[in-house]
Structure 1
């Protein structure tokens, strides 16, 4: 089993926050915890649609004694998100893992938030999440938007720059006309999930100029690509 060490390598998630990937070293865990970690990661990667995975999520959210595994799960999530942006099912499973860890009252996850947040933000505002038309990346972005909001609400008083950093990242993605419509959607959902004050201060003042950019993308006469029109209408629905 490998765990993060103090050797660090700086990387950037796609369109997300900068992240320091900690390189693995050998680390001693009890045999029981090692088997538990191996089983959870196996289910996450290959059987995330199974009843067993749902039971694993419930276990992660409630069991005591799992705190020693937090750095391992943090590294696992970060590593898999970095190299699996084409695997929609895996990305969604990873975000569910993060939510369960956050829900566990026996786990102190604060020291690892700076490593987890770039992965979470990536699953909100990456250009593509999955590689098939049938992949419901909209649902993943909605799920992740609520996850981001819950993290900011819970830990914002501890890390005062957490929500401002997240907000800046999302606002940049929202207002950048060179970003894909899917990225705009994720940014809008993320900002909206942060609450009425963020909507009032950041979305509403930019709504009219943004709609002027969006409307041509919604019209068949101006946008011949059916998928792009569909994306534009999804954004329009999110803004209503």
Structure 2
């Protein structure tokens, strides 16, 4: 009866392999120990192979390499094998072993001369890993940097390769081109074909994809905003609240601005629509989730139009009747709202656009000194300069009040309109008031304005406005504000 231990079903079967390795080292290993050691080696090899296969699969490969084995050994905290790579094919050689002529295949190890290895040139030092960043586009505009393609190269590409699938008119390029080609074949006109191709090349093509939900939202909001039905007033307020508070509306901003511009252009006689459009602008500006900086220059023409336009609302031929006076006041209220929005936008975006404030100031001053402009434009220009700040009032407005009074007020025969403009100027000058705080305040108020100060005031703003200011109860504070920092009043 054979007393040998049963063979193990391992890669190391039979376990004689372990005994042969032990005998070569001069170790007398019992059969039972050899069996247990063979099974432990089998377990370790299985563990390394499973982990190596994981590295292979995560590398999207189907061939197991020596690098996978090395990574597995590192993870298992086992010293990896050195000197093995799979970059060169293995060179097997054949030899005969023993008296029976058993064939044995072995790997031919190339002999390397040590001196040759020492004297050969060292490999080049690898370049240090670096990262470079550049702007592909800033607010939809591609900067001129070497990493970006030139505009000429982009224009030479066909629209489809540029990513454009629809034109600014909302027409699909592919279907439009196909329909054009079909019509040309039917009609057989070469001139129409050349014209159509030229138009398609010159049109700026953009790709702007809106979801169905955003399109539905835009259509519903626009429908409510232009509605004149009093029953939909609650829906209009809800739409304005949504524009003011809801996030995720950034894709619709250019569409809302275009909608506001179209309504202001086409509905200058409708006071309610104009007030609603100003409320839309206010809601968009107050929405903190919308980045409105790129659209400021598109909003300014809308606001300046409502502030300085010659005619807003129905045409008023005569302001003597009380009804027409109320109608004029309602038109001026639109300009007041526009002036408030102008001040709000300059306060928020004035630091981002340094040229915004001086350009608007020049526009307002030009409209103020134009004698051909009606009272609405004059009133809007005064309100705009008032909201630009005390510095603009002192440097720009006060210096031109004498000329303005002669060219505008003295040539206007309507007392109602003249009173509106003069009272507005008085309110603006009252904004500069400087009050005296101290024990001598009452004594100082009892003193009259000196003749020297009166003459300087007349020289600064003209005699009619000077008389009007001197008749006011707070005349000394107003004069002190006009000459603040120049003379003591």
TM value normalised by structure 2: 0.41
Residues 58-81 of structure 1: per-residue CA shift (max 9 Å, x gap) = 111111111111010011111111
Match in the other structure for 1:37: 218
CA-CA distance at 1:140 after TM superposition: 0.7
Q: Gaps spanning 5+ residues in structure 1: where? A: 7-21
C-alpha separation in 2, matches of 1:130 and 1:24: 37
Structure with the larger RCO, 1 or 2 (CA within 8 Å, 6+ apart): 1
Tell me the C-alpha RMSD between the 2 structures.
Answer: 2.5
Larger radius of gyration: 2
Aligned counterparts of 2:168 and 2:342: Cα–Cα separation in 1: 26
Match of 1:127 in 2: 310
| Structure 2 counterparts to residues 70-219 of structure 1, below 5 A | 70-131=253-314, 133=324, 134=327, 136-216=330-410
Instruction: Name whichever structure is richer in strand by fraction.
Output: 1
Deviation for aligned residue 1:231: 2.3
Residue 210 of structure 1, CA deviation: 1.8
Which position in structure 2 is the counterpart of 1:231?
417
- How many residues are paired up? 215
- Structure 2 CA distance, aligned partners of 1:179 and 1:93? 25
Q: Distance in 2 between matches of 1:44 and 1:63?
A: 17
Task: Name segments (4+ residues, structure 1) moved above 6 Å.
Answer: 22-26
More deviation in 41-50 or 98-107? 41-50
Check conservation: 1:102, 1:109, Cα contact below 8 A: yes
Secondary structure of 2:313's aligned partner:
coil
Question: Relative to structure 1, is the Cα distance of residues 47 and 94 closer, same or farther in structure 2, using a 3 angstrom cutoff?
Answer: same
Say whether the 8 Å CA contact 1:217–1:229 is kept in structure 2. no
* Structure-1 separation of matches of 2:415 and 2:292: 40
For the structure 1 residues 60 and 48, does the alpha-carbon distance in structure 2 shift closer, same or farther, using more than 3 Å as the test? farther
The reply to whether residue 56 of structure 1 matches residue 239 of structure 2 is: yes
Q: TM-score, normalised by structure 1?
A: 0.82
Give the direction of change, closer, same or farther, for the CA distance of 1:124–1:83 in structure 2 (3 Å limit). Answer: same
Gaps of 5+ in 2: 1-165, 170-202, 316-323, 427-489
Q: Which SS does the other structure have where 1:107 is aligned?
A: coil
Describe the superposition over 1:12-59 as per-residue Cα deviations: whole angstroms up to 9, x where unpaired: xxxxxxxxxx99988531222112111221122114861221221111
